[in-house]
Amino acid sequence: MLLSEVFALLDVVEQARRRGLDVLQILDTPPEERFDRFTRLARIAFHVPISTITLIDRDRAYFKSCIGLEVVEAPRDATFCARTVLLDQPVIVEDASTDPHYRDLPGVAGEPHIRFYAGFPLHDAHGTAIGTFCLYDRRTRTLSAREFDLMLELSQWVEAELRSSNEMDRAREVQQSLLPSTAPVIEGYDASAVCLAAGAVAGDFFDHQEIDGQHSFTVADVMGKGTGAAILMATARAVVRSENRAFAAGRFGDDADLGTALTEVNTILLADLAASSAFVTGFFGWADPTTGQVRYVDAGHGLTLVVRADGSHEHLATSDLPLGITDEWKWTERQVDLMPGDMLVCFSDGLFDLLGGTPEVLGVIADLAHLHPTPSDLVETVRSMADSAVPLDDVTMLAIRRLPEAG
């Protein structure tokens, strides 16, 4: 394997590990008895002065539990555990003072003068090493076969505790129930959509409604990840659906347009978003199935393309703000026509970042749409890319194509 390939592989593993920590949402949380009981048990069972449950962050080691030493974190490179996570296998060091990998570590050369170390990697639900369960001693020693097996079993218990997420599982189920089970069904059109959470739950969402013969559809992204973003996602979805119905019923007046409706959505959401220091970007469209005209408001999203049947593409740029920034902004309705064979592709910044995060990504996605001209093929391609590349943010896409025979 070439050196460049090794570094590329290490970068993928590093991203996967950081995603695993993001999903757990456990860094910098207070001590918990459910973890301390393991380190206490290990110290007694193995007759060592120190035991830790250590998580390896970007540039530090965070001690979720540390019995026998008063420390919360340490520089990543100053720990035994960084190498254990890199190797992803149990590491037994009988005398650190003579081991070239560890003899210069601060805790070996100085206080507390560690000599013995036994570290067992801890994995997230995807099998990525994210931390270690460790034993430390100030004297040289080793582990017997029986002790090794016991430590391995205890590590598996710690993993199970790290992964225990009944509440997160329930949150995932609730969130998935809020997302449409199918893409929009519009006569004369083909559509497909996907929303892939980077963690247990997503801050992205897509939605669609059929109201009075027209079809509304939304792709939106709440700033942030995790349960907080997911709660705001559910709130934003409910408000948008409600105001869509109000708009269709004429509640905003005969001269109102989608900009008026989105301004009202912002008014309703503003207090909650401000209290959470969050905002929402989104593409909010209404499609007329007869004419192919799409009326839309882009609230600071800017990630929508119209991929034309003739091989060209158009980026639907925006100058409107996201929702949740101010109560003084008025959003603007715009229009675009889908000709037979044209496809509208709207996606979240998770896909944008996954493909490099540069302006050239828009062309890449347009090329993908030309190579995969049906929405279902395009969406499945994006799903496969996200599954293989370990995205750090939610990936959402909605594709709607006007069928050629519609002309």
pLDDT at position 259 is 94
- Mean pLDDT, range 165-177, rounded to an integer: 57
pLDDT band at 392 (very low <50, low <70, confident <90, very high): low
pLDDT band at 323 (very low <50, low <70, confident <90, very high): very high
* Highest mean pLDDT of the ranges 126-135, 194-203, 204-213: 126-135
Q: Is the pLDDT of residue 15 over 90?
A: no
Q: Report pLDDT digits (tens) over 136-168.
A: 999 999 999 999 999 999 999 999 888 775 455
Which of 134, 164, 194 represents a domain boundary (last residue)? 164
* 183 and 82 together in one domain: no
pLDDT band at 202 (very low <50, low <70, confident <90, very high): low
pLDDT band at 173 (very low <50, low <70, confident <90, very high): low
* 268 and 330 together in one domain: yes
* 129 and 267 together in one domain: no
Among 183, 154, 227, CA closest to 398: 183
* 115 and 204 together in one domain: no
* 188 and 232 together in one domain: yes
Q: Is the pLDDT of residue 406 over 70?
A: no
pLDDT at position 72 is 92
* 223 and 89 together in one domain: no
Q: Is the pLDDT of residue 51 over 70?
A: yes
pLDDT at position 87 is 93
- Mean pLDDT, range 247-276, rounded to an integer: 90
Among the ranges given (145-154, 205-214, 235-244), the one the predictor scored with the smallest mean pLDDT: 205-214
pLDDT at position 186 is 81
pLDDT at position 88 is 94
- Mean pLDDT, range 178-182, rounded to an integer: 69
Among the ranges given (170-179, 286-295, 299-308), the one the predictor scored with the smallest mean pLDDT: 170-179
Q: Is the model more confident about 234 or about 100?
A: 100
Q: Report pLDDT digits (tens) over 81-98.
A: 999 999 999 999 999 999
* 137 and 37 together in one domain: yes
* 136 and 158 together in one domain: yes
- Mean pLDDT, range 266-280, rounded to an integer: 89
- Domain hosting 195: range is 168-406
* 377 and 248 together in one domain: yes
* 89 and 229 together in one domain: no
If one counts the domains in the chain, the total is 2
pTM: 0.61
Q: Is the pLDDT of residue 388 over 70?
A: yes
Which of 141, 164, 187 represents a domain boundary (last residue)? 164
Q: Is the pLDDT of residue 5 over 60?
A: no
pLDDT at position 224 is 67
CATH code of 135's domain: 3.30.450.40
Among the ranges given (133-137, 145-149, 352-356), the one the predictor scored with the smallest mean pLDDT: 352-356
Which of 164, 184, 218 represents a domain boundary (last residue)? 164
* 346 and 364 together in one domain: yes
pLDDT at position 122 is 95
Q: Is the pLDDT of residue 3 over 50?
A: no
* 160 and 176 together in one domain: no
pLDDT at position 13 is 74
pLDDT at position 330 is 94
CA distances from 396 to 17, 139, 223, 352 (A): 22, 54, 14, 10
CATH code of 274's domain: 3.60.40.10
- Percentage of the chain beyond pLDDT 90 is 56
Average per-residue pLDDT for the chain? 87
Q: Is the pLDDT of residue 171 over 70?
A: no
Among the ranges given (163-172, 214-223, 303-312), the one the predictor scored with the smallest mean pLDDT: 163-172
